[in-house]
Chains A and B, each alone.
Chain A
Amino acid sequence: MRRKHWMVLLVLGLFILACKKDNPIKEEIEKFLGFVKPSNFPEPVYNLANNPVTKEGFELGRSLFYEPRLSRNNTISCGSCHIQSAAFTQHGHDVSHGIDDRLGTRNSPPIMNLAWNKAFMWGGGVFDLDLQPIVPITTHEEMDESLENVLAKLRLLPKYTSLFKNAFGTEEINTARFMKALSQFMIMCISSSSKYDQVMRKENGAVFTADEQEGYVLFKDKCASCHSEPLFTDGSFRNNGLGISPINDQGLYTATLQETDKYKFKVPSLRNLQFTAPYMHDGRFLTLAGVLEHYNAEVQHTPNLDPVLNVSGKLGIGLTEAQKTKLTAFLATLNDPAFINNALLAEQ
Chain B
Amino acid sequence: MKKLSTNICLWAIMSLMAVLFSSCAKNEDDAPEFSEANLAPFSVEFDNIVGDRTLTLNNTGSLYKNAANEQFSISTLQYFISNIKVVTTTGRTYTVNQDSSYFLINGADKATRFAKVKVPEGDYTQVIFTLGVDSLRSTMGVDKRTGVLDPAYGGGHDMGGMYWGWNSGYIFFKYEGNSAVISDDANGDPTGKKQFKYHIGGFGGYSAPTINNIKTVTIDLGSGGIAKVRKDRQSNVHLLVDVMKVFNGTKSFSIAAHPTVMFSTYSTDVAVNLAEMFKHDHTEN
- Which A residues contact B (CB, under 8 angstroms)? 47, 50, 118-119, 121, 125-128, 130-131, 134-135, 137-139, 145-151, 174-176, 179-180, 254-258, 261
Contact = CB atoms under 8 A, between A and B. Distances in A.
Given A130-B141, A175-B142, A256-B210, A148 B205 contact: no
B145 A175 contact: yes
B165 interface: yes
Contact of B210 (A119, A145, A175, A255): A255
Main SS at interface, chain A: helix
Contacts of A130: 141-142
Contacts of B168: 125-128, 131
Given A134-B151, A256-B210, A257-B211, A125 B166 contact: yes
Among B145, B150, B151, residue most surrounded by chain A Cβ atoms (within 10 Å): B151
7 contacts: A47-B141, A126-B166, A127-B206, A127-B207, A131-B151, A148-B152, A148-B161
B153 interface: yes
Contact of B264 (A147, A148, A257): A257
B163 A134 contact: yes
For the complex of A and B, the 10 pairs showing the least CB-CB separation, nearest first, are A146-B156, A134-B165, A147-B152, A125-B167, A130-B142, A148-B152, A127-B206, A135-B165, A176-B142, A256-B210
Among A127, A131, A180, A258, residue most surrounded by chain B Cβ atoms (within 10 Å): A131
Nearest to A237: B208
A175 B151 contact: yes
B244 to A, nearest CB: 28
Main SS at interface, chain B: loop
Contacts of B1: none
Nearest to B267: A257
Contact of B165 (A131, A150, A174, A257): A131
B109 interface: no
B193 to A, nearest CB: 17
A261 B142 CA distance: 27
A128 B142 contact: yes
Contacts of A50: 141, 143
B208 A258 contact: yes
Contacts of A176: 142-143, 145-146
A216 B169 CA distance: 41
Interface of B: 139, 141-143, 145-146, 150-159, 161, 163, 165-168, 205-211, 263-265
B195 to A, nearest CB: 17
A127 B163 CA distance: 15
A64 to B, nearest CB: 14
Among B206, B207, B211, residue most surrounded by chain A Cβ atoms (within 10 Å): B206
Contacts of B139: 127-128
Contacts of B157: 138, 146
A180 B142 contact: yes
B262 to A, nearest CB: 11
Contacts of B155: 146, 148-149
Contacts of A261: 208
B142 A146 contact: no
B142 A138 contact: no
Contacts of A150: 152
Contacts of B167: 125-126, 254-255
Given A125-B166, A130-B142, A138 B156 contact: yes
A320 B75 CA distance: 62
Among B152, B159, B265, residue most surrounded by chain A Cβ atoms (within 10 Å): B152
Contacts of A258: 208-210
A248 B209 CA distance: 23
A9 to B, nearest CB: 32
Contacts of B208: 256, 258, 261
Contact of A257 (B141, B142, B163, B263): B263
Contacts of B153: 148
B151 A257 contact: no
B142 A255 contact: no
A153 to B, nearest CB: 12
Contacts of B163: 134
